[in-house]
A and B are shown apart, each in its own frame.
Chain A
Amino acid sequence: MSGDGQPADAEPAATAGPAEANIPDDADVDVEDIDPEAADSSVEEDAKTVPAGLPLRVQNLRKQFGGITAVDGASFEVEEGSLTGLIGPNGAGKSTTFNCITGVHQADGGTVLFQGEDITGRKPHEIANRGLVRTFQIARELEAMTVLENLMLAPRGQVGERMLHSILPGLRGDVVAQETELRDRVWETLEFFEIDHLAEEYAGNLSGGQRKLLELARALMVEPDMLLLDEPFAGVNPSLEEKLLDRIHDLREQGYTFLLVEHDMDLIMENCEHVIVMHQGKVLAEGSAEDIRNNDQVIDAYLGDEI
């Protein structure tokens, strides 16, 4: 992507809270220098006192696979209504961080707070039902289900998910009524993402980029408060990428919070008001795009590893 042409709506979030002040402006390695014990207890207190300005707070997250430490004491926060970027070279532990936050993996240590509640170690469905929904790095569409079915699956609180409601003659009416409503919303969402022409295709027949759109659309159907997107642009052609970005910005303006993993530095720099850099499982730096661009450690990490 070219360096300029920053989308007009990428100005700092209107709701940017004062929570910024918690983090040293030039957030360096000292994040993980915090004594773990101290961090834990302070988290407990903060959980009650921090206003809803920081929906997601990750403290000292740690995850090992055999001998590999994939996440090594990562701590960061995501601000309400922001589009926050999480970058880092391949293998930095970004996806693993997502997996630990969303309950796919059990963290070996640390705490995850969502809207003030400790969600560490919760099951994936419990976390999703609290309004924190994620997409996957490699799009996981439900291949033998149509695009419509994929979207209809997502909404929470469907009465028809109770088997008796779906079977019994007297109760099935409610199911039909609710599904009729949902169907309208699904079509709206499809139109919003401009994939309505694919509505009746099997998801397995979609192109890589279309799958990414579908995944985002499906995640939105959950009506989450916050979305974690793992490399939503990987394998997406430039015009679709543009479209996807536009949608993300539109949604952010409506009040959604985003945490976006991406390993393309430029893309993150242009679109995110707040950037977190991970390296070897740790948070290496954090700050505005400008801060990150000028951070020597970040440059070293990237130049040292790849790109």
Chain B
Amino acid sequence: MGVTEAYREGRDLVVERPAVWLLVLATLYLAVDLAGKLAGVTLTVGGTQLVGGDLAVSTFGRFMKDGLIVGLVVGLAGVGLSMTYSILNFANFAHGDYLTTGAFSGWLAAYVTAFVTLNANVPFGEIFLLNEPALVSIVSTPLAVVVGVVVSAVVTIGSVLLLDRIVYRPMRDKGGISLLIASLGVALALRYVIVIVFSTNTRGLTRTSGVPALDIPAIDGVVPLDAHEVTLVLFAVGLMLGVHLLLQRTKLGKAMRAMADNKDLAQVTGIPTERVVRATWIIGGGLAGVAGFLIVLERGTLNFNLGFRLLLLIFAGVILGGIGSVYGAMGGGIIIGVVSRLSLVWIPSDFARVAAFLVMIVVLLYRPEGLFGGVTTA
């Protein structure tokens, strides 16, 4: 109203907005550029190409599909990370290795199932160590895939609860940084227990031949979608819906949302917090385990670094969606997945992860509450 008020608003605009405005402009530019590229229109000013170029619609479609698939996995895994962040108050750097745990245990189960159902003539040791290449596919061994999903969830939940019991529970009263550091220790120990069992080899696990693919027609070509990708999407979307129902319809879910919003409040109002904590680990761990299993189904390959390499992307998704928000984690994960793949339109693949991390840092700096601005867990 007064002079100072106007001055202050002006200063806010200059100090805080320019970065945001620049970002908005940059995003806008990229959108226009993308549209131009897709339409094959080029705008050239004074010899430099301003926007546009050439990008096949089907290539774009493939980027989008890959991005959505990675994004679903990142989003699924992000639910647990986000919940532990808000309910247990720490950034769990071991979360990526929960994915690895799920992947190895799930694929072990899937391999054993496939071994039994296919009556394969292979030494069991090769099955156990996942050394027999390309044994499983959703077509030839659908049961193995289903068993794998279930086992990945169960084993990961078991490991996560055990780790909570011996590592995190004795530290409930400690600060977030102590827990964060402890989680770095957990991450390392867990990862290398897996290495001791399964070695550092990268193995190919899924059969690619004979897996039917749907060719979705795009204007100038097709976007193939194979049965493994469809399986991944079905499981991921189904689980996300399940989490939604759990949070909205059950008493436990409501308690969890309340606690994520305000732990102290939840404690005084008498929600049994240890029960909520356990539920958090169960849901978060289970989803992480399944996410680990599913990404391997789609990629076909597995090694011990799988989860750790995804961890920063998962963090990025969670931060993008707003820490503490379950739906934000899902949405943020999908956006991060799409960003990391769509960035290939402009930058070489070496920098896809760089782009995702940059988005994460920028969001932390300018919109720490997340893109969807949610304080709420709902």
Contacts and interface: CB of A to CB of B under 8 A. Distances in A.
Interface of A: 36-37, 39-41, 44, 60, 106, 109, 111, 118, 120-121
A121 B2 CA distance: 14
Contacts of A36: 1-2
B8 A111 contact: no
A109 B8 CA distance: 9
Contacts of B3: 40-41, 44
A155 B316 CA distance: 43
B274 interface: no
Contacts of A111: 2, 4
Interface of B: 1-5, 8
A106 B11 CA distance: 13
A40 B3 CA distance: 7
Nearest to A106: B8
Nearest to A108: B5
A120 B8 CA distance: 9
Contacts of A44: 3
A268 B2 CA distance: 34
17 contacts: A36-B1, A36-B2, A37-B1, A37-B2, A39-B2, A40-B2, A41-B2, A41-B3, A44-B3, A60-B2, A109-B2, A111-B2, A118-B4, A120-B4, A120-B8, A121-B4, A121-B8
B375 to A, nearest CB: 10
A60 B8 CA distance: 15
B11 to A, nearest CB: 8
Pick the 8 closest A-B CB pairs, nearest first: A40-B2, A36-B1, A120-B4, A109-B5, A111-B4, A121-B8, A40-B3, A109-B1
Given A40-B2, A40-B4, A121-B8, 8 more contacts: A36-B1, A40-B3, A41-B2, A111-B4, A118-B4, A120-B4, A120-B8, A121-B4
B8 A40 contact: no
Nearest to B11: A121
Nearest to B12: A106
A106 B8 CA distance: 10
Contacts of B1: 36-37, 40, 109
Nearest to B3: A40
B13 to A, nearest CB: 14
A111 to B, nearest CB: 6
Contacts of A37: 1-2
